């Protein structure tokens, strides 16, 4: 008698698979939510991905969704929301005791857009203190003694541990790409300014970017289409049949900081992509390009010190020493100096366009490191954001692709970087690359 194949538990489904199962009524939104909540109950004690959970409200919302019409691309999908986003029905603490029990009056725009598209919120995921370096309690689900990265720590960990299919994050330096890399999931930082930031705790007008996490490229398309309002990210034919891209290899001026694991991942990727890419060559770093890492640090410190003026002036004693030190650094930059830094940033963004200009180098994407190596041991820090600072300052869309592991068995991958505003093309290129990199 043949063995009966067991169906996978709903919480293990990719987002696009879950959407298909919901559309065909193979599962209900309530059943999917319940299974995700069961998984959270199994693992949350160890991983600690959530700042707040409300299972009863989430299940009630799922039942209501099952009784109504199809809502959109995220219909019935449990969604993790970083605790930097305002939510009308869940507390929002911004990773700080200063805002313990804080209840916003409205959802952040990105949260409202996801709800409109059918997403359901079981809770808020852990963020570092005001999305800076002071870590929360979250562990890396791949190895619990290691950092999950930050600042979107809980979102990356929840997706990696099959608690949720999708989660929202933000990036000011490396807060999406780095935790995606450390936890071994796909991370998407869209082009600067393409996702509304209303209702997200403002930290840096020049850098703050809303994005998210998923377990496949296709899932990033679902989430990205809703966040950007760009249906081209849902064009499955365009993604599946994307032409071979022209790839620029860009280890950045900090290439020497890659550890041996990242160097091995780089060599593996080049070997896999080179035979079929339309072009694969070293991308020349513009001679006039400023030191992007140093510039990003200056811009971030000054803007955080001003954006968090209330917290700095009224609650210094409740803030971490590292955040207070950043405020002091930021206040040491004058308004006139900051204006110069913004002008340098704008000039750098114009130079960066040359990588993608057909009259110049003409690449479709740049391949670049995501992190120095795998997730460091310990929970006292969230890892070095070195390889993401520059791309965030330039405002370019980035996608982390996990495809290998280091000698310690932890996940490892690389990021691809695209032209500003061409997020849909970067997504298609990500699929092309992933098909050749996947283990």
For 25-68, what is each residue's pLDDT tens digit? 999 999 999 999 999 999 999 999 999 999 999 999 999 999 99
Q: Residue 309 CB: number of other CB atoms within 10 A?
A: 11
User: Is residue 133 scored above 70 in pLDDT?
Assistant: yes
**Structural domain boundaries in the chain:** 11-238
What's the rounded mean pLDDT across residues 214-230?
98
> Any bridge partners for residue 124, and if so which?
52, 81
Dump pLDDT digits (tens) for 162-188: 999 999 999 999 999 999 999 999 999
What is the token pair recorded at 290? 């400023």
DSSP state of 241: T
Cα distance between residue 267 and residue 279, in whole Å: 16
Contact call for residues 172 and 392 (beta carbons, < 8 A): yes
pTM, entire model: 0.98
Indicate the pLDDT class of residue 360, thresholds 50, 70 and 90.
confident
Catalytic, 191? Answer no
Contact call for residues 173 and 131 (beta carbons, < 8 A): no
Q: Choosing from 82, 124, 189, 201, which is the catalytic residue? A: 82
Indicate the pLDDT class of residue 396, thresholds 50, 70 and 90.
very high
Contact call for residues 95 and 136 (beta carbons, < 8 A): yes
pLDDT at 358: 87
What's the rounded mean pLDDT across residues 136-144?
98
Indicate the pLDDT class of residue 5, thresholds 50, 70 and 90.
low
Catalytic, 260? Answer no
User: Is residue 2 scored above 80 in pLDDT?
Assistant: no
> Any bridge partners for residue 210, and if so which?
170
% of the chain at pLDDT higher than 70: 99
Contact call for residues 169 and 212 (beta carbons, < 8 A): yes
User: Is residue 1 scored above 60 in pLDDT?
Assistant: no
User: Is residue 405 scored above 70 in pLDDT?
Assistant: yes
Dump pLDDT digits (tens) for 317-356: 999 999 999 999 999 999 999 999 999 999 999 999 999 9
Cα distance between residue 152 and residue 383, in whole Å: 12
Cα distance between residue 331 and residue 351, in whole Å: 29
Cis peptide before 340 (omega within 30 of 0): no
pLDDT at 89: 97
Query: What class is the 11-238 domain?
Result: alpha beta
User: Is residue 359 scored above 90 in pLDDT?
Assistant: no
Residue 405 backbone dihedrals phi, psi, to 5 degrees: -145, 160
What is the chain's mean pLDDT, rounded?
97
Q: Choosing from 28, 96, 155, 175, which is the catalytic residue? A: 175
What's the rounded mean pLDDT across residues 109-124?
98
Cα distance between residue 100 and residue 289, in whole Å: 43
What is the token pair recorded at 355? 């990588």
Indicate the pLDDT class of residue 232, thresholds 50, 70 and 90.
very high
Dump pLDDT digits (tens) for 79-113: 999 999 999 999 999 999 999 999 999 999 999 99
Catalytic, 82? Answer yes
Cα distance between residue 228 and residue 409, in whole Å: 35
Q: Choosing from 28, 96, 124, 151, which is the catalytic residue? A: 151
Angle of helix 321-331 relative to helix 292-307, nearest 10 degrees, comes to 100
Dump pLDDT digits (tens) for 346-357: 999 999 999 999
Contact call for residues 83 and 169 (beta carbons, < 8 A): no
What's the rounded mean pLDDT across residues 267-285?
97
């Amino acid at each position: 008698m043949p063995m009966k194949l067991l169906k996978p538990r709903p919480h293990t489904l990719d987002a696009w698979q879950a959407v298909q199962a919901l559309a065909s009524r193979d599962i209900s939104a309530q059943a999917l939510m319940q299974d995700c909540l069961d998984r959270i109950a199994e693992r949350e004690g160890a991983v600690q991905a959530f700042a707040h959970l409300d299972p009863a409200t989430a299940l009630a919302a799922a039942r209501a969704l099952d009784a109504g019409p199809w809502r959109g691309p995220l219909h019935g999908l449990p969604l993790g929301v970083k605790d930097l986003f305002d939510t009308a029905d869940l507390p929002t603490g911004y990773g700080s005791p200063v805002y313990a029990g804080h209840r916003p009056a409205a959802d952040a725009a990105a949260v409202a857009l996801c709800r409109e598209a059918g997403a359901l919120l079981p809770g808020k995921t852990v963020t570092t203190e005001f999305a800076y370096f002071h870590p929360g309690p979250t562990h890396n689900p791949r190895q619990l003694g290691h950092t999950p990265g930050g600042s979107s720590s809980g979102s990356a960990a929840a997706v990696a541990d099959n608690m949720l299919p999708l989660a929202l994050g933000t990036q000011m330096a490396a807060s999406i790409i780095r935790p995606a890399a450390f936890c071994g999931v796909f991370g998407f930082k869209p082009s600067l300014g393409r996702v509304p930031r209303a209702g997200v705790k403002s930290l840096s007008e020049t850098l703050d970017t809303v994005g998210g996490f998923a377990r496949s490229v296709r899932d990033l398309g679902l989430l990205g289409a809703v966040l950007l309002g760009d249906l081209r990210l849902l064009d499955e034919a365009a993604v599946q049949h994307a032409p071979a891209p022209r790839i620029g290899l860009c280890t950045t001026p900090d290439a020497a900081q890659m550890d041996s694991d990242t160097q091995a991942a780089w060599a593996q990727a080049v070997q896999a992509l080179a035979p079929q890419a339309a072009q694969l060559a070293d991308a020349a770093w513009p001679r006039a390009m400023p030191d992007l890492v140093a510039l990003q640090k200056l811009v971030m410190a000054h803007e955080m010190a001003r954006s968090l003026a209330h917290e700095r002036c009224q609650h210094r004693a409740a803030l971490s020493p590292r955040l207070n030190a950043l405020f002091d650094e930021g206040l040491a930059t004058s308004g006139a100096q900051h204006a110069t830094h913004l002008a340098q940033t704008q000039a750098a963004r114009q130079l960066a366009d040359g990588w993608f200009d057909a009259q110049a180098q003409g690449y479709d994407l740049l391949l670049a490191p995501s992190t120095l190596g795998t997730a460091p041991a310990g929970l006292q820090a969230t890892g070095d954001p070195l390889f993401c600072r520059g791309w965030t300052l330039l405002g370019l869309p980035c996608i982390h692709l996990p495809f290998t592991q280091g000698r310690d068995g932890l996940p490892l991958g690389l990021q691809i970087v695209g032209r500003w505003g061409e997020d849909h093309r970067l997504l298609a290129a990500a699929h092309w690359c992933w098909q050749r990199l996947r283990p």
